[in-house]
Amino acid sequence: MRVLAISGSLRRDSNNTALLRALREEAPAGVEVEVWDGLKGIPPYDVDDDLVPGPPKVEAFRTLVREADAIFFATPEYNSSIPGALKNALDWASRPIAANAFRNKPVAVIGSSAGAFGGVWAAAELRKVLAAMGARVTEVELVVGHAHDKLDEVGELADDDIRDELREALDLLLAEAEPAVAVA
Amino acid sequence: MSTIEQQATGTFAADPVHSHVGFEVPYAVATFSGEVPEFTASLVDGHLEGSAKIQSLRLKDENLQAHVLSPEFFDAERHPVLTFSGDLARDGDKATIDGEITIKGITHPATLTGTIVGPTLDHFGATRIGLTLETVVDRTAFDIKWNMPLPSGEPALGNEVTLKADLTLVAQEA
C-alpha cells in the first residue's frame, strides 16, 4: 500500500510537513508514506497551458496521485481557507474533470496551525474541494492547534497523543483504500 | 369494492428495449431526470426482482455524469448495482409492491405503486405484463447528501427522489 502525503505549506519548517514526516514514521509495515515535495514547482493554473500533455511537473504530480493507493493531506489555514498553492495544484490535478487523477481516490485531510483552531476551516474547505473532484473523502477530522508547541527543537513531532491520532487517521484511510468488494 | 383479477403467475422477464428505469429529482427551478438503461427485472409468481447498473447512467454532460457516479453521490465504483425486490399485490389495474430497495449499499423498505396491464397476448403471440411503477425515496437515507445553497438560501437539489420503472415483462418458456 502506497500513501502520498501532501503538505499544503511550502515553509521549510512547516508544522504540517512535520506532521506528515511523523505519519511516515508511524506507518505500519507494508505501508509506504511518501511526503511530496513538489508543490512549489507547480505553475499557476492557466487554461491556455492546460494541454495534453500538461506541464511536466503537473503530469508528474498527476502520475504520483494515480499511482498512490491513497492520499493524506495536512494543510495550514490562510484567511479561513486553503493555501493558494495547494488549491492551485488541485485545480491542475482535477483536469480533465470526468477522468481526473483524484476520482474515487481515498483521501484524508488533517489541519494544523499556530492558532487554537488548528486550521479546521481550511480542512473543511479542502474536503469540499476533494469531494467535488470525485475523491473518496474519509471521515478523518484531526486538527492540531498551537502546532509549533508540539514540535521539538529540531522540528519533529514530540507529542505521543498526536502520534496516536495520526496512526488512527492513517488506519481509517487505509481501511477506505482496501480494494472494493466486487459486486456483480 | 376491490376485486382480485388476473394473477401474474409464472415467470416473466423484462424486455429491456421496451422498458425504462430512471429517476426524477427537483433541481433549482425544475425537475432533473436521468435514465439507467442497463437493468434486469423478473416477476416470478408475483415476486418482483430488479437490479440496475448505475454505471450505465447516461446524463447529457460527461462531467455531471462523473460527479453523479462519484462517492459524493452513487459511488458507482463501490456500489455498482441498485436492487429492488418485493411482492406484487394487485387490485384491478392498480399494482402495489411492498419490498426493499438497496442504493449505495444501504437497504430500506420501499413500496412501489402504479398500474398493471395483462397478462395479455402481444402481436407476436408472446404473453406480456405491463407494470408502471414509482416510489419516492429520501436520498439522504442512502448517504447521498450533496447540496448547494441557492441565493435564496434554499438547497439547489431536492432530497425526495422519484424512482420510476416502466416495465414490459414477457413470459418465459418453462
**ipTM of the complex as predicted:** 0.81
The cell numbers describing A162, all together, are 498526536
B108-128 residue pLDDT tens? 999 999 999 999 999 999 999
Interchain pair A104, B79: CB under 8 A:
no
Residue B160: closest CA among B132, B137, B129: B137
CB–CB of B166/B29 below 8 Å?
A: no
Confidence band of B9 (pLDDT split at 50, 70, 90): confident
pLDDT of B3 above 50: no
Nearest chain A residue (CA) to B104: A183
A76-86 residue pLDDT tens? 999 999 999 99
Give the closest-approach CA distance of B72 to chain A in angstroms: 6
Interchain pair A97, B81: CB under 8 A:
no
pLDDT of residue A9: 97
Confidence band of B174 (pLDDT split at 50, 70, 90): low
Give the closest-approach CA distance of B104 to chain A in angstroms: 11
> Angle at the Cα of B43 (from B40 to B48), degrees rounded to 5?
80
Nearest to A98 among B63, B72, B77 (CB): B63
Confidence band of A5 (pLDDT split at 50, 70, 90): very high
Residues contacting A62, CB < 8 A, separation 6+:
A54, A92, A93, A101
pLDDT of A184 above 60: no
- Which residues in chain B touch residue A136, judged by CB atoms under 8 angstroms apart? 71, 75
SS percent in chain A: helix, strand, coil, step 5: 40, 15, 40
Interchain pair B71, A180: CB under 8 A:
no
Mean pLDDT on B150-160 = 94
Residues contacting B122, CB < 8 A, separation 6+:
B128
The cell numbers describing B21, all together, are 428505469
Nearest chain A residue (CA) to B145: A131
Mean pLDDT on B71-80 = 95
pLDDT of residue A75: 97
Give the closest-approach CA distance of B123 to chain A in angstroms: 35
pLDDT of residue B2: 36
CB-defined contacts A:B, below 8 A: 34
- Which residues in chain B touch residue A184, judged by CB atoms under 8 angstroms apart? 81
User: In B, what residues contact A, Cβ < 8 A?
Assistant: 62-63, 65-67, 70-72, 75, 77-81, 146
Burial B94-131 (b: 16+ CB within 10 A, else e): ebbbebebbbbeeeeebebebebebbeeeeeeeebbbb
pLDDT of residue A118: 85
Interchain pair B71, A99: CB under 8 A:
no
Mean pLDDT on B25-41 = 95
A117-134 residue pLDDT tens? 889 999 999 999 999 999
Nearest chain A residue (CA) to B53: A184
Give the closest-approach CA distance of B89 to chain A in angstroms: 29
Residue B116: closest CA among B31, B46, B37, B17: B46
The cell numbers describing B126, all together, are 408472446
- Averaged confidence pLDDT in chain B: 93
Share of chain A above pLDDT 70, in %: 97
Mean pLDDT on B158-165 = 97
Interchain pair A183, B62: CB under 8 A:
no
Give the closest-approach CA distance of A14 to chain B in angstroms: 31
Q: What's the predicted TM-score (pTM) here?
A: 0.86
Task: Supply φ then ψ for residue B46, to 5 degrees.
Answer: 85, 0
DSSP letter for B149, please. Answer: B
- Best of A69, A100, A102, A103 to substitute, by most chain B Cβ atoms within 10 angstroms, is A103
Confidence band of A179 (pLDDT split at 50, 70, 90): low
Q: For A77-179, where are the alpha helices, taking DSSP H only?
A: 84-93, 120-132, 160-177
Mean pLDDT on A88-104 = 96
pLDDT of A182 above 90: no
Nearest chain B residue (CA) to A94: B63
A132-177 residue pLDDT tens? 999 999 999 999 999 889 898 898 999 999 999 999 999 999 999 9
Confidence band of B5 (pLDDT split at 50, 70, 90): very low
